[in-house]
Structure 1
Amino acid sequence: MSATAFDFEKARFNMIEQQIRPWEVLDARVLALLGQLKREDFVPEAYRALALADLEIPLSQPAVEGECMLAPKVEARTLQELDLQPQHNVLEIGAGSGYMAALMGRLAQQVLTLEINPRLADMARHNLARAGLDNVRVKTADAAAHRFAACVDAAPYDVIVLSGGVAEVPTDLLELLRVGGRLFAFVGDEVVMRATIVTRASEAGYHSIQPWDIVVPRLRNFPEPTRFQF
């Protein structure tokens, strides 16, 4: 084994033990997958040495605001919250480099991931093909346009994941969930965001929980909340 490969394996071990487990990620499936799927293969070459560090990784050079991989512990805890099963049909908005879609593709039946930036969409396709994920489809689209029309073709979904921050969860997206399905989002503004899980309990009924706080870059073109107050 080369010194470079050895260093990555040591860094991967440290990432799991020092970043991810302390963030209450204890699901054995998730921890095993993080040890198997090489995050460094989804990182731009200029930032490869930082792939397993506890920080957000820019996906453009020079860096473009909002275009990044989330910190490993955030991705890991999100994946744990999703509790993906082999029969699940998944929608992700915000493909980035394809890493989160790859993690989900290893656990679910199929994943559709949308990316607004054509260059990043091509990067995700390349990375996913190289990783052998043939059950993950990347679509170049502005997900929020026309009441989320680009998301409809593979609906209903068991799980929907928004891989960036939003001001509020759009009703049009919730309606694409199967009854019993869940949507995960980071909801709030740049000062305070909360990991939010909305479950579709019935055709017209939803309930939500917000188990932890975090701040992440915003997804582009998502609707802003109504500012009217009584």
Structure 2
Amino acid sequence: MKALLLVIAMIVLARDASAQDAQCVRERAAMVETIRTYARSAAGVLGRQGLSERVLEAMAQTLRHLFIPERSCSVAYADQPIPIGLGQTISQPYVVALMTQLAEVAPDHVVLEVGTGSGYQAAILARLAQKVCTIEIIPQLAETAAKTLRDLAYDNASVRLGDGYNGWPECGPFDAIVVTAALGEPPPPLIEQLKVGGRLVMPVGPAYTTQQLTVVEKIAPGKTTTRAVALVRFVPFTRSQN
């Protein structure tokens, strides 16, 4: 009898897991369509090319629900930011796609992310780049993100605990840098570690209000161009107290 009950329990669990997987697939597909809709109305930001299929495919393939505490598909794939604890959030899907597009990541690129959070943005970048180096200042988040990325076999993504203001020189120079926290101006060390022709994408502005999503392009050694592309609202850039 116990063996029969165990088999029945396993069947029920497998059925529930299958139903959840199917829900996640539907919710993720709906998320991608929402992103497409936003992109079509943002021609002034993205230009005539809009969001690339590479970026949309990365969004469609990445299991966002595994990067949030609830692991709920209905929560994960809604177009909204999600708290991940310790005063931090995971950005809404459209903003993740937008920042990724603006970074113009190519398959042979080395990319730096500052502000790992849950690891979701790093996972998106890892699908598009050769190597991703991501820095997180909060130990609990860095540990959890590293484990999630490792468990999901993102072998080309490395997580470092530390203050991202100074970048990660040993991992660079970088073809693209994505910063997922707001600061009054782009950190000079990050621009220094950017290759000529590379792009830095980050929210620039004061904390706890709207900021300008900004693209800094390094056009020559010591020379950059800067353009603001959209209003956003990010958590403040956290610095080490040491």
> Is 2:141 aligned against 1:123?
no
Superposition TM-score, scaled by structure 2 size = 0.83
Deviation at 1:10, TM superposition (A): 1.4
With 21-30 and 72-81 compared, the bigger mean Cα shift is at: 21-30
> Is 2:60 aligned against 1:39?
no
> Is 2:181 aligned against 1:167?
no
> Is 2:155 aligned against 1:134?
yes
Q: Of 211, 214, 228, which residue of structure 1 is paired with 2:232?
A: 214
Deviation at 1:47, TM superposition (A): 5.5
Amino acid in structure 2 at the alignment position of 1:90: V
**Which residue does the alignment assign to 1:71?**
92
Describe the SS at the equivalent of 2:199.
Answer: strand
**Which residue does the alignment assign to 2:21?**
5
- Distance (whole Å) between structure 2 residues aligned to residue 72 and residue 3 of structure 1: 23
Superposition TM-score, scaled by structure 1 size = 0.87
Deviation at 1:49, TM superposition (A): 4.1
Describe the SS at the equivalent of 2:80.
Answer: coil
> Is 2:37 aligned against 1:22?
yes
**Which residue does the alignment assign to 2:133?**
112
Task: Provide the alpha-carbon RMSD of the alignment.
Answer: 1.7
- Percent sequence identity over matched residues? 34
Describe the SS at the equivalent of 2:181.
Answer: strand
Q: Of 141, 146, 168, which residue of structure 2 is paired with 1:151?
A: 168
- Distance (whole Å) between structure 2 residues aligned to residue 87 and residue 8 of structure 1: 30
- Distance (whole Å) between structure 2 residues aligned to residue 125 and residue 49 of structure 1: 24
With 156-165 and 44-53 compared, the bigger mean Cα shift is at: 44-53
- Distance (whole Å) between structure 2 residues aligned to residue 31 and residue 121 of structure 1: 26
Deviation at 1:8, TM superposition (A): 1.3
Count how many residue pairs are aligned between Structure 1 and Structure 2: 213
TM-superposition CA deviations, 1:114-143 (whole Å, max 9, x none): 000111111111111122111110001122
Residue ranges of structure 1 left out of the alignment (5+ in a row):
223-230
TM-superposition CA deviations, 1:28-82 (whole Å, max 9, x none): 111111111111111113655411112211112xxx32x1101111101111111
**Structure having the higher Rg:** 2
**Which residue does the alignment assign to 1:55?**
80
Q: Is the Cα–Cα contact under 8 Å of residues 23 and 73 in structure 2 kept in the other structure? A: no
Q: Which runs of 4+ in 1 moved over 6 A?
A: none
> Is 2:195 aligned against 1:178?
yes
Describe the SS at the equivalent of 1:221.
Answer: coil
Q: Is the Cα–Cα contact under 8 Å of residues 65 and 71 in structure 2 kept in the other structure? A: no
Larger relative helix fraction:
2
